[in-house]
Structure 1
């Protein structure tokens, strides 16, 4: 499972309600395409809306603006998915892929947003610039794969999960700044959501199990409403339809360090996307050559540019949707095209975004412990395939890189005396871990071959989507 798409554990066993044989789009009835597209949307929905909620609330935006971020995210998810699945000239892998905001960018964006000199417009400038960077370097990413063997990517993903867990824990207690932070009712509701998700994961099958996080949030919100914790006033006041306007927070600004930071994040994102595309190639039986891979990575870049223009964040392929392709057997890209159209439509319904924003933080906390924890668990699982017995140097790579990644988490003022312009970079444990892991891997293990790296990336992605 990718950092961009933490979700519940996928169950390959058991009946799937919308199971269909592998078939070209022409043989899939339109009604089935709609249901299968909706299934893709429901599987990714909880992960898709998590990032705008994290960023909006961390930056203390008004509820109306947080809801606007959610609408923008759903809208841009739809556009990015259409670009990837339907395709444009020279852009888009044209395979069943759903796109969503990557979690890898959350921590560095929060550091940028906390800097008054950068702020939200600086974040969007960095997002747009990093998307353009991804468009330019997409043909070169295959050559960078040897820099990111499993010991590096596993370490990075592990640190992403651990870093995000702080958000989930604070949500479960009611959210930072809440005067009733840690109230027993908040903790009980978070525990209830967590238990529901675990129970559905254990006893559910197929689609129900894969949507356990979304189901847990819905049930938790219903219970929270019974305790008077859900304010639906803003939902009632929100219009049924509205356009998503570009640059709603003002024209973007471009801070060099912020841009560099997100460019590094995009390299990591594209490396992970490469593995996902190779795994999807094996699932669908469609070959992915260098040209097709480049088109897919360009869609990551263009989707990210679209995100910056429409007030949202960097995009990547969601791994649980790739896993769903294998579970359902439906390999037609038109299913995810329909899913993209559904997401596009959802982004134009402000009432829905207001409803998402109204979910109490303690309810999100129970789900966040699962979502963010699954990111870390995915990193641990990737590291499980690394040879530590015969190559003890790998232990040092992981140990030191995780240590670097924890610096901003356990000692927020560690780099206080460093130049202010470097803070967005130094305050991101993910980037510190990534740089450390790459450098130490080169020092201890040298540079592997591109073919070995492609095989390792595909195996890593298969492990992620199968779970």
Structure 2
């Protein structure tokens, strides 16, 4: 796609170059297609966890549409901060921002079964966490030593492991407590499997736009299948469309604002992970698109925009934003480094966010169809974490850190009743599993002496020893 009709090789590597509009507009929309499903899915998951009704006749229907609408709108706003910049805020690079999956293990326990009443504390956490995230731009270069691949890989893997249950529940028919009697039926699973099969087929056997938007195309085919099977009707689509406004502006503090210690601490701690992820994405864009290393100013500016975008979203009912890694790969594939191409995509997202009818159509997607796409996306989160862990030197010290952190974090996820007597705030943080695992890994990595790395591992691994960077124990 990156050929002479778009620009010269030097122009394509220049973030300030604008291709001809006839090429720039499709390239910008392609960026939106690559991230669209991932961007709106967290809002739907949070709504489901809170107990919002998913039907178009539900009294919670307007609230659900609002969450989807804000996800699109403020992903676009945060992306504009990155591409157009505001003073030191923004990297002036083609960075696409979107709603972050990383915060879901924190958000789900905060809102679980509490309905709209839980959103005030949630948005208080988003706001304060976003401000804290932006402040990390001042020191991001100096704190990276505390977050090596052992820690970040563990955290990303734990995020995926915390979410895969949601994917299975959705594919089976929704969260069991609010699901239908047909939960787990063959019909429900068939819709999810159609999405998975189509997604994998397009991802590996198609090229260009079809491959890039494989998850979106899988959902479209799954949606068509659900209509054929009677899982969604034309009447339901019409009702959703008619109930949604044609145009609506965001409303600041619509759900109020409450500052909960659990929410604030959880969002601030996860900001570390999101900030490091953004550093990786900025570095990947600079290397893949321009063949150079990212500058300190670009990394700091991207971190400022990450946090400020999240804080602004929290004011208006959006969820935390972060840079989207799939769009980094898209830049490497197209070879087009222009930040103005991504600006076009951001404007398209903002337009969608101002038109609630777009969210109304998204909400008519059956939960089982969405589950198929979510299974793929959350599985990829786990795979990304494992890929990061492949850079770890698996010596005795690192194996002990990983083993203890994973055991405690995953164990608390699987058995939340083990901490039922803790105060409410601490219990919410502990049962996510993610924060305990991250804190244990960070602290152990800082305090355990490096000398342990050269010692034998038999007493902790049953005779298996890690040898060499990225190798499995025993190889």
Q: Is 1:295 matched with 2:301?
A: yes
Instruction: State the distance in 2 between where 1:421 and 1:193 align.
Output: 38
Counterpart for residue 272 of structure 2: 267
Q: Is 1:411 matched with 2:415?
A: yes
User: How far does the alpha carbon of each residue in 1:48-72 deviate from its partner, in whole angstroms, 9 at most, with x for none?
Assistant: 0110010011101223211110001
Matched-pair contact (CA < 8 Å) for 2:74–2:309: yes
Instruction: State the distance in 2 between where 1:210 and 1:52 align.
Output: 22
Instruction: State the distance in 2 between where 1:180 and 1:270 align.
Output: 42
Counterpart for residue 252 of structure 2: 246
SS in 1 for 2:103: helix
Listed as ranges, the gaps of 5+ residues in structure 2 are 53-59, 452-475
Task: Please report the TM-score for the alignment, with normalisation by the length of structure 1.
Answer: 0.88
What is the Cα deviation at residue 205 of structure 1?
1.7
User: How far does the alpha carbon of each residue in 1:149-176 deviate from its partner, in whole angstroms, 9 at most, with x for none?
Assistant: 1111111111111111011000000002
SS in 2 for 1:100: strand
- Give the stretch that moved more between structures: 163-172 or 195-204: 195-204
What is the Cα deviation at residue 33 of structure 1?
1.4
What is the Cα deviation at residue 407 of structure 1?
2.6
Distance 1:238 1:27, change over 3 A: closer
1:38 aligned to 18, 24, 29, which one? 29
Q: Is 1:55 matched with 2:46?
A: yes
Counterpart for residue 66 of structure 1: 64
Counterpart for residue 471 of structure 2: none
Aligned residues: 430
Instruction: State the distance in 2 between where 1:372 and 1:433 align.
Output: 19
Q: Which has the larger radius of gyration?
A: 2
1:425 aligned to 406, 416, 429, which one? 429
What is the Cα deviation at residue 273 of structure 1?
0.8
Distance 1:440 1:331, change over 3 A: same
What is the Cα deviation at residue 446 of structure 1?
5.3
Counterpart for residue 10 of structure 1: none
Instruction: State the distance in 1 between where 2:310 and 2:217 align.
Output: 29
Distance 1:60 1:19, change over 3 A: farther
User: How far does the alpha carbon of each residue in 1:72-121 deviate from its partner, in whole angstroms, 9 at most, with x for none?
Assistant: 11000000000111110110001000001111100111111138698111
Q: Is 1:375 matched with 2:375?
A: no
- Which one scores higher on RCO, CA 8 angstroms, separation ≥ 6? 1
Matched-pair contact (CA < 8 Å) for 1:261–1:424: no
Instruction: State the distance in 2 between where 1:312 and 1:424 align.
Output: 21
Counterpart for residue 222 of structure 1: 224
Counterpart for residue 180 of structure 1: 182
Counterpart for residue 91 of structure 2: 93
Instruction: State the distance in 2 between where 1:314 and 1:26 align.
Output: 30
Matches within 5 A, 1:294-443: 294-388=300-394, 391-443=395-447
- Give the stretch that moved more between structures: 172-181 or 226-235: 226-235
Counterpart for residue 461 of structure 1: none
* RMSD, aligned CA: 2.1
SS in 1 for 2:413: helix
Instruction: State the distance in 2 between where 1:112 and 1:27 align.
Output: 43
Counterpart for residue 74 of structure 2: 76
What is the Cα deviation at residue 441 of structure 1?
1.8
Distance 1:27 1:53, change over 3 A: closer
What is the Cα deviation at residue 23 of structure 1?
5.3
SS in 1 for 2:418: coil
Instruction: State the distance in 1 between where 2:289 and 2:225 align.
Output: 41
Counterpart for residue 55 of structure 2: none
Matches within 5 A, 1:151-230: 151-176=150-175, 177-178=178-179, 179-230=181-232
Instruction: State the distance in 2 between where 1:247 and 1:445 align.
Output: 48
Matched-pair contact (CA < 8 Å) for 2:51–2:112: no
What is the Cα deviation at residue 421 of structure 1?
2.2
What is the Cα deviation at residue 272 of structure 1?
1.2
Distance 1:238 1:331, change over 3 A: same
